[in-house]
Amino acid sequence: MGSRSSPSEQLIAAGQASLAAHLNTLDGADATGLTDALELVGWDTLATLRAHQVAPREPELDSSRLAIPSYRPVHAEADPSAARAAVQALRAGKVAFALLAGGQASRLGWDGPKGTYPIGPQSSRSLFQLLLEHLVRAGRDFGTLPPLAVTTGRTTDAAIRSFFQTHDCFGYEPDQLQFSMQASLPALDRDGQVLLRSPRDPFLSPDGHGGAILGLETNGVLRAWEDAGIECVVTFQVDNPLLRVVDLDFIGALLTGDAPLVTKIIEKRRPDEKLGVVVLRDGRPALIEYSELPSTMAAARTDDGRLAWRLGSMAVHAFRLPFLRGALEAGLPLHVAQKQVSAWTPQGVVRQPGLKFERFLFDLFPQADSITVVESIREEEFAPLKNATGADSPQAVRAAMQAKYRRWFEAAGRPQPEQTVELSPLEAVDASDLR
């Protein structure tokens, strides 16, 4: 029997000669710590990332192969049969929700998982609490608390679990709530070598929203849901406190339609708005990430002056569970993005260009024969929290929340409050709750 390759040999075989040389300078706990972290990533994965980094780039998109799918505009009358189907499914416990919360709040400048950020204009309720109150409200309205999975990352898992425990899981019982940790992938430098966060830690990041969904499958969550009779899975991200999480029309559109997936969109306002766009590519559903949309296509307009590729994704989707599990069997490809990374070097921490890798949830779209697209009202449902200042900042998001609540008071014919306005989903999910 041949001897097992050493970690240094494994690294050299994976094209990581520089990291192998660094590992040989370490001893004791530092060497063990770095080796353990790399083994969790996987030697084969390191080789795959390097091969992907040096692989030829995809050719530029051909707009002649793309089309805008038909969609239900915001002013279209809702189908009452769809809402009824959603209510029946919620009452029967056949609708589950997946909150994608594993990312790091680096742009926000928050020392903790993004879901713990205190965003309530008056109460400082966290993003987690505000979003989960929609589900608790649905449990109250329909008699069954919807099953929920919260995805975490390697660096956020412990903090998220602790935060939920501290807040009594926001009304969820342990058997109704699951946590699912997604994989993390190392960042590479321009030469394809793994960057380090410290002498014993590779620079790791969660493998994207696609990796979060893939983790639900590999961690057994989707199988357990299927065994429990779940038919529909709604996925949403942790950064949008305006979102109506339990949208009966949206869920019903999946349950009463022929398409195996439904997605929410808003119309893009600017070519440079950082929203992926929903399209048909060669007649099949697809979503093009904003970073992969050429600037000429992003700026193209139709004869009426609207952006040609304007169906901006809100990152809210609903899947039929058998389709979701079947589509995940094929795996999800890697996407690479150039980012500035603060990496450790023997000379100190250096801000330098790096390559980060992600998997995109919407790479599942082309496996569907058709898609249902539902337009939402931006002012009612879209105010993502991403930046510390300026657009998509806490100040901007709280202002959008304030404006939404005040519109509800006006629509309900009630006097406008003089002080700061904040409404819990337990109190109101639309203006009709205030009448």
| Residue 2 banded pLDDT, cuts 50, 70, 90 | very low
| Residue 55 banded pLDDT, cuts 50, 70, 90 | low
Burial grade of 97 (CB within 10 A; 0-12, 13-18, 19 or more):
buried
Lowest mean pLDDT among 1-15, 68-82, 112-126, 369-383: 1-15
Q: At what angle do helices 248-256 and 80-91 cross, to 10 degrees?
A: 90
pLDDT tens string 76-112: 888 899 999 999 999 999 999 999 998 777 788 898 9
Average pLDDT across the chain, whole number: 93
pLDDT for 58: 60
pLDDT for 54: 64
The answer, yes or no, to whether residue 63 has pLDDT greater than 90, is no
Average pLDDT over residues 353-358: 92
- Closest to 141 (Cα-Cα) out of 89, 98, 87: 87
Element (H, E) at 328: helix 321-328
Tokens 């990496």 — which residue? Answer: 343
**What percentage of the chain reaches a pLDDT higher than 70?**
98
Lowest mean pLDDT among 33-37, 217-221, 417-421: 417-421
User: What's the whole-model pTM score?
Assistant: 0.94
| Residue 230 banded pLDDT, cuts 50, 70, 90 | very high
Average pLDDT over residues 311-337: 95
Average pLDDT over residues 199-215: 94
Lowest mean pLDDT among 93-102, 252-261, 327-336: 327-336
Average pLDDT over residues 331-353: 90
| Residue 61 banded pLDDT, cuts 50, 70, 90 | confident
Per-residue CA distances from 82 to 77, 250, 373, 414 (Å): 12, 8, 14, 30
- Higher-confidence position of 276 and 79: 276
pLDDT for 195: 96
The boundaries of every CATH 3.90.550.10 domain in the chain are 65-388
- Show the tokens assigned to 81: 């049969």
pLDDT for 3: 55
Phi-psi region of 135 (alpha: psi -120 to 50; beta: other; left: phi over 0): alpha
Lowest mean pLDDT among 139-143, 223-227, 228-232, 291-295: 291-295
CATH annotation of 65-388:
3.90.550.10
